[in-house]
Each structure stands twice: as structure tokens, then as C-alpha cells.
Structure 1
Amino acid sequence: MKALIQRVRQARVEVAGEVVGAIDQGLLALIGVEQGDDPARADKLLHKLLNYRVFADDAGRMNRSLRDVGGGLLLVSQFTLVADTRGGLRPSFSSGASPAEGEALYDYLLGQARAQHAPVACGRFGADMQVFLQNDGPVTFLLEV
């Protein structure tokens, strides 16, 4: 599993003009599910999402986690994140999980996130989504488990 995380001041996801998920300060996490991913990997990814230190402490150093600051977590499924872009001029998605497997694992991750943290918001799996964010920093990291 992969997550492209962005520290945000605010973020929201719209589907057909309707806001389906929104947070204030926190992390926007674009989630990619690959073949072979399982709940254990989702658990490891969630641990990183909640505990990765990307927020400033009193000295201005990245030393606080999402849990430490009580920020929001916005999860958005994004299958293009698992694309193989090493060859040619067209991405290959052969390493991505099937839509059914991807949705099941994304739903698992979302359920676990909601059980362990608040607030948690999300996009809509498989939908044509518009993601709006105010990147804070900018601070962006690719997490892989």
C-alpha cells in the first residue's frame, strides 16, 4: 500500500458538486492499493499515517504527529498512485489491486482509522472526485508499507 500525504490547513473532496468529505488542519492521504496488500499492511500504513511526525513543535521542527495535534485525516482512494511509470510514455496499472480488492482494503483502512482517530473524512471509492486543498508548507511525503 502507498499513501501520498500532504499536510494541509484544510481539504475537501467533492463528487458531482457535493462535498463528501472535509477536514481542517491535518493530513490529506491519497491511498493506492496494490496486489498482495492485506489488512496487516493497511494497519501498518494507518500506524504511519497517525504517527508520522510532520507537524511543527514549539521549536518549529517537524516533531509532532497527527495524533499529537488532533488534526483531521482525509482519506481519498487513488489507483493511479500505484502506476508503474518507469517505461514508455503511458502508465501501467498491472500492479494495482482489482477494484473489488482495492475497495475492500480501502474500506478496511477507513474503518480502522475511524475507530482509532477523529476526525476522519473520506472521498468516494471509484468516483470522479475533485480534491481541493490548502497545502501547508508545502509538506508532502510518499509512505509505502
Structure 2
Amino acid sequence: MDRRDFLKGGCIACLSGLVLSSSCTSYHYVTGTLVRDGITLPLSRFGSGGDTVRYVVIRHESLRFPICLFRNGTDSFTALWMQCSHQGAELQVAGNQLTCPAHGSAFDHLGNVVDGPAARALRTFPVSLRDSELFIDLRKPNT
């Protein structure tokens, strides 16, 4: 497939996605609230009932890269810095993986390398649930 066919097919797929209802969405872009030690967001950002999402991408003007927050279970979350550990490009989320548009590296929802050229896992942050609010501790990266 040449580039032109690829782009045409991709644009058609994107336009088709716009027609789908929001309940089919598997993630949301959100703005977290920056606090002294990290970033917070309401648990409700993951939806409720039949309209739940698997992950959210948190953007904030003070962060150089977004953070992808995966929901692994009822009270289990993984916060991943969306900067490729290979050469620093911003990652994209698709399903249960993050991929690098620059060189093709792929990472699973825990930040582990699935496909190179990246050799190191992604930087992760501790996540805690306080009442109905999630807190991502930016002071203590796990990796």
C-alpha cells in the first residue's frame, strides 16, 4: 500500500469514528488539577455504568508530556509518562498499548516494552485513590 492509499484509508476510518456515539469511546482527554505534590482528577472521569473508559490521557499546561492513566481494575491504576524511552517522542494510545510514531516502539498498559527499538520501560508514577479522587504522585516516579 502506498502512502496516498494509507492516508485515504486512515481519513475514512477517522471520519467513520466521528459518527459513532460517545458511549463507544475507550478513552477521554482530560485536564488534571495540578497540586503541590502531583496531579488530581475525579474518579468520575472514567465514567460509570455502561459508559466506562479503559484509560484517560491527562494534559496540563505545566507538564511537558501528557500522562496516560490506565484503569486495571476497580481500584487499580497505572500512570504512564507518554514520552518514549527510546528517543523522547510523544506516544500515542491505542487499545491497551502506547506506540511511538517516530520509530515504532510499543509499550503495554503497565509501561513495559512490547516492541523495540526502545529497550527501557516507560516512566510510571504512583497512583492512589482518596474518596472519589485519584492522585498521581509526580514527586516519586516508579521508574
Same-fold call, TM > 0.5?
Answer: no
Could you tell me the TM-score, scaled by structure 2's length?
0.30
TM-score by length of 1: 0.29
Larger % of helix: which? Answer: 1
* Greater Cα radius of gyration, structure 1 or 2: 2
Greater strand proportion? 1
